[in-house]
Structure 1
Amino acid sequence: MSETHMEQERKFQNLLMRISKSPLYKEKLAAYDIRNIRLDQIMSLPLTSKEELRNAGSFGHLAVDIKETAQYHESFGTTGEPSAAWFTKEDLETGGKQMGECGVRLTPNDIVLIRFPYAMSLPAFLMQHASRQAGSTTVPASSRTTVTPYPRVLELIKRLGVTVMAGLPREMELLAETARLLGLDIKSDFPHFRAICAAGELLSEPRRKHIERLWGVPVYNLYGSTETSNIATMCDQGVLHVLEQDFIIEVLNEDGSVPAAQGDRGFAVLTTLTHQASPLLRYFNEDIITIEPCQCICGHSGGSLVHFGRLKERMRFGALVLDSSDIQFAVYTLSPVPDAWKVIEQEDGLHFILDSHRSSEWTKKDVTAHLSKQLGVPVTVEFADDGVLLNRAELVQNAPSKKPVYIQKLQPSVKTASIDLLRDLLDQGRRKMADRDFHAARTLFEKAVALDANSADAHAWLAAAYGRLIEAGIILEKMRLLPFLENEIKAALRIDSKLPFARRINGARLLNTPDTLGGDPAAAAKEFQYCIEQGMDEADLWVSLGECYIKLENPQKAKYALKEALAREPKHEQAKELLEQLDGGH
């Protein structure tokens, strides 16, 4: 075990003791023996959803006495209900150190202008702590206020000799456009300026490079949230490194039930190892990310993170899925790059509204072709008049900055709403399965089947819930539920006989049902082999296949399957136990 992993294990055990002091987690973890759960068993613990945080209220996941807190922040979601975050003095110091990990490397010679909004949001305060810890001078030039409009910020940068600016990516773009409107030359008028730190919005690589071209300095990305503080920082090689001393990050598939394959986009699940005031355990924050191992020449090791956007902005066109990063890639590879843009989702494609002071260099034909090629969907384009997306007159006056809307989602039709509701019911049910709340999962899957009786997925997942309830039930309960399990499997396979998940549940039924009631380990083995051939390659599946061969008295094949399971998950307890039994018997 590496030193880093040992330290994470120690912090994880400490977290489990601390977090159960909060009302939310005291209830969520009541049924778990947290004293005997190791870090490698973290997936046995329940997820925490955004909805749960909002429903818990301001004090719901506060894990320390109110006297120990130093600061309170809120993050507003799409529902308008805030998510609370509390910070002790130690938390704020840790947050500053997290920001300080950035490749900008602040020094006592730096003058740092902070352009993040100060009202209730977190990044401004953490950046201020990072600046103070480095001995730098801070200039608090908050956005979204009339006190520091764009011209005044530029005047401050010039007059004070600001060296580093930190703020939302959009603020960096708008300040550059204001400088152009005022006739300023960024290189000659801001000679001391050396770097930008950006956070609070999605910053795809083409967008980051665009801002670097606007300002002629490196741009360092920071990834985090109000609920968690800063999670990853960008080094001078342009790699976003996870701060593994403070966070455990899992990347799960869309329903939150199993890990995404390495390199595939999945959903961030965050555990805050060191946060004291309002710690989080397996927080499913609906951000879409990848994490891959990295040994960077900057000296960092561990995971590198790429952020692709949020679930609420994801768009689907048949089998095609587009995330916010895909939209940004298409927009910020236009030449020239727009000064402002907005995309509107439509039934059969996307409508872009674009604004540039160099729009005479565009043709609708070329822009449409570029966007359509990059995104793989039909595209229409509109070149906006001044003031529609960007009011340049306001930029050079004392008007406060505003929160932009980049992606306008389509209002769902009745049919689309039904599909979305089905997907939501299945997602909620799968998360309840992951939390081992099988009764709640069954209820949600029953609603999904009632909504769409022709959904093979809905029937298969309802069968899975019945299977889990049968495993946990007494003999009479098992006998009562078995016909329901069989009926749902039959329904799923009748709708889609090739659905791997339905075949897997059928295999589990055939394996775990007594021969007198229709069990058949040989048929079960065929079902599991089919699933593996279709790309379902988890350790649990190989263990199930191994169990089939044990029942069929074929120890050689059983050992092979169990070794395959351990190759995928070296600490799989059931695989190790079964293999030891086989080795002991032969």
Structure 2
Amino acid sequence: MQADTLTPTDTPRDACETWTREAIGAYQLGRLREQLDYVGEHSVYYRRLFAEHGFRAAQLTSLDDLRALPFTRKRDYVDSIGRVPPYGEFQAAAPADVRRIHFSSGTSGAPAPQYWTEADLDRWAGLYARYAHAQGVRPGDVYQCLFGYAWFVGGLGATAGYQKLGATCIPGGSADSERQIRSIFEYGVSVITATPSFVAHLAQTARSMGLDARESPVRHIMLGGETGASVPATRERLEAEWNAKCFDAYGSLEFQTIGQDCHVQSGPHLAEDFAYAEIVDDEGQPVADGTPGVLVLTHLDKQAGPLVRWWTGDVVVRDSSRCACGRTHARLPGGVRGRADDMLVIRGVNVFPSSVEQIVRGFEGLSSEYQIVLDPSVCDARTGFLTGFRLRVELEGAPLGADVAERLAHEIREKLQVRASVDIVPAGSLPRSTHKSKRVVREGLDT
């Protein structure tokens, strides 16, 4: 692609952003060979897996050859940590070379860690800087991070990226709403990152303080941790409340931020120089652009904890055509369309029904029958985003102490970092199934 198809204000930060599709594919194949050779040598898990499938990195002659390997799922990752704690069998860097560890809830309810070396952290910051630049952020902008910093992956990664770009950074975190608003107005904050629900909450907080978010200096809002920025009605509402442009971001603990909107806002651009993306159907077969499927990712440039054919569970649609901004990396129009499993996203935290079940089963006197209830009482009235969940749990027999519901709610808050309202119901109250029990129940909601 010729550089003059881009406007002067939108010259890409990184040259790879405008490579031809052929150049992207050639680069990915070369990087895959190198990365898989590294993984096969340094990761116990993949060394064993490659041997079981008679696979060698040198045999890759096309990107399609990667399909000779099975998917890697979160259960595989969590189980490996149980076998070889605390780093697990996926770790491919020496512990002494690890510079950062972040955690999220695993499918068993135990924290699932991910690791970064110095080079990994620099790569991560570079991707954030790339995306911020594509959204119009420049050196001299004042950036306030409204993602959480404790344990989870959002805050530190975003801050490092905007700092790398040359912005002045304020690590605000996700609490103390009035102070966040005061800081935005006092320091001329032009860029914020947060979950959509927190951005909506801050606009309301500003009104309660006699201020108008539309009159704040904020002009760029990067949204992550929840769906919303790719939903037209939600985006329009937030943009109107702040008089600012909202940009959708896609990422995960395992792959950090690997997709964000450019200024055109036509769907997050995948970082195709950092990860190889497959979109597959329920049978694991590739689907064409424009067809919904599950996103499967493979690291192309990761030293600590690299993953091969990672089943994200996120349902997306890919568009590999050139964007109106001139960039050629594929986009995910509409962002994440749904989940291939029952995972819930509550205030940016991933919650699996199996994690809840693990906690419930730790309480004597409670049966294995439970329901996670989603109704208007656990949804933000303005945005519809989940703020928690209700939990119905059956007694196994005789009534328990009056404090069991409170203790169970406390345990959920401690282990999963989300709030739950617990109802203990008599034995036999919940419906039974001869097949799969319906663990997530929606009551009074449209979807």
Same fold (TM over 0.5): yes
> Is 2:135 the counterpart of 1:104?
yes
Q: CA deviation at 1:345?
A: 8.7
Structure 2 SS opposite 1:153: helix
Find the aligned partners of 2:88 and 2:28 in 1 and give their Cα distance.
27
Find the aligned partners of 1:289 and 1:131 in 2 and give their Cα distance.
27
> Is 2:224 the counterpart of 1:199?
yes
Amino acid at match of 2:27: E
2:277 to 249, 261, 266: 249
- 2:31 aligns with 11
Find the aligned partners of 1:211 and 1:412 in 2 and give their Cα distance.
39
Structure 1 SS opposite 2:319: strand
Q: 1:50, 1:83 within 8 Å by CA — same for their partners in 2?
A: no
Q: 1:202, 1:309 within 8 Å by CA — same for their partners in 2?
A: no
Q: CA deviation at 1:243?
A: 1.0
Q: 1:83, 1:227 within 8 Å by CA — same for their partners in 2?
A: no
Q: 2:203, 2:212 within 8 Å by CA — same for their partners in 1?
A: no
Amino acid at match of 2:102: H
1:168 to 190, 195, 198: 195
- 2:111 aligns with 82
Q: 1:250, 1:270 within 8 Å by CA — same for their partners in 2?
A: yes
Q: 1:355 and 1:24, CA in 2 relative to 1: closer, same or farther beyond 3 A?
A: closer
Mean Cα deviation higher: 96-105 or 151-160: 96-105
Find the aligned partners of 1:201 and 1:151 in 2 and give their Cα distance.
22
Q: 1:111, 1:138 within 8 Å by CA — same for their partners in 2?
A: yes
Find the aligned partners of 2:327 and 2:278 in 1 and give their Cα distance.
19
Identity among equivalent pairs (%): 25
Find the aligned partners of 1:286 and 1:357 in 2 and give their Cα distance.
28
> Is 2:438 the counterpart of 1:414?
no
Please say which structure displays the higher CA radius of gyration.
1
2:77 to 44, 53, 63: 53
Q: 2:136, 2:263 within 8 Å by CA — same for their partners in 1?
A: no
Q: 1:53, 1:84 within 8 Å by CA — same for their partners in 2?
A: no
> Is 2:316 the counterpart of 1:285?
no
Amino acid at match of 1:27: R
Show the 5 A alignment for 1:99-498: 99-102=128-131, 103-143=134-174, 148-188=175-215, 190=216, 192-203=217-228, 204-205=230-231, 206-239=233-266, 240-255=268-283, 257-305=284-332, 306-313=335-342, 352=376, 356=381, 403=418, 413-415=431-433, 417-418=435-436
Find the aligned partners of 1:311 and 1:180 in 2 and give their Cα distance.
39
User: Structure 2, unaligned stretches of length 5 or more?
Assistant: 1-20, 82-86, 345-370, 384-416, 421-428, 440-447
- 1:33 aligns with 56
Q: Which of the two has greater helix per residue?
A: 1
Q: CA deviation at 1:2?
A: 2.1
Deviations 1:62-107 (A, max 9, x none): 1111222211111213531233211111111111121122232332
Q: CA deviation at 1:123?
A: 2.1
Show the 5 A alignment for 1:543-558: none
Q: 2:138, 2:167 within 8 Å by CA — same for their partners in 1?
A: yes
Find the aligned partners of 1:355 and 1:67 in 2 and give their Cα distance.
44
Find the aligned partners of 2:430 and 2:277 in 1 and give their Cα distance.
33
Deviations 1:96-154 (A, max 9, x none): 121122232332211110011111211212211211211111101111xxxx4000110
Amino acid at match of 1:150: S
Find the aligned partners of 1:279 and 1:84 in 2 and give their Cα distance.
12
Q: CA deviation at 1:60?
A: 2.1
Find the aligned partners of 2:331 and 2:430 in 1 and give their Cα distance.
36
Amino acid at match of 1:104: Q
Q: CA deviation at 1:165?
A: 0.6
Amino acid at match of 1:414: R
Find the aligned partners of 1:8 and 1:201 in 2 and give their Cα distance.
29
Find the aligned partners of 1:280 and 1:94 in 2 and give their Cα distance.
16
Q: 1:2 and 1:357, CA in 2 relative to 1: closer, same or farther beyond 3 A?
A: closer
Q: CA deviation at 1:237?
A: 0.8
Find the aligned partners of 1:36 and 1:278 in 2 and give their Cα distance.
23
Q: CA deviation at 1:351?
A: 5.5
Q: 1:236 and 1:66, CA in 2 relative to 1: closer, same or farther beyond 3 A?
A: same
Structure 2 SS opposite 1:101: helix
- 2:17 aligns with none
Q: CA deviation at 1:198?
A: 1.2
Q: 1:167, 1:198 within 8 Å by CA — same for their partners in 2?
A: yes
Q: 1:212 and 1:125, CA in 2 relative to 1: closer, same or farther beyond 3 A?
A: same
Q: 1:75, 1:82 within 8 Å by CA — same for their partners in 2?
A: yes
Q: CA deviation at 1:4?
A: 1.7
Deviations 1:144-176 (A, max 9, x none): xxxx40001101111111111111222111111
Structure 2 SS opposite 1:223: strand
Q: 1:268, 1:284 within 8 Å by CA — same for their partners in 2?
A: yes
RMSD: 2.7
Mean Cα deviation higher: 153-162 or 303-312: 303-312
Q: CA deviation at 1:420?
A: 7.7
Q: CA deviation at 1:357?
A: 8.1
Amino acid at match of 2:186: R
Q: 2:292, 2:317 within 8 Å by CA — same for their partners in 1?
A: yes
Q: 1:149 and 1:85, CA in 2 relative to 1: closer, same or farther beyond 3 A?
A: same
Whose RCO is larger (CA < 8 A, sep 6+)? Answer: 2
Amino acid at match of 1:120: W
Deviations 1:197-221 (A, max 9, x none): 1111222423222211221100111
Q: 1:161 and 1:286, CA in 2 relative to 1: closer, same or farther beyond 3 A?
A: same
Structure 1 SS opposite 2:91: coil
- 2:67 aligns with 43
- TM-score norm. by structure 1 comes to 0.53
Amino acid at match of 2:432: V
Q: CA deviation at 1:177?
A: 1.4
Q: 2:34, 2:57 within 8 Å by CA — same for their partners in 1?
A: no
Amino acid at match of 1:129: A
Find the aligned partners of 1:416 and 1:119 in 2 and give their Cα distance.
42
2:95 to 66, 80, 99: 66
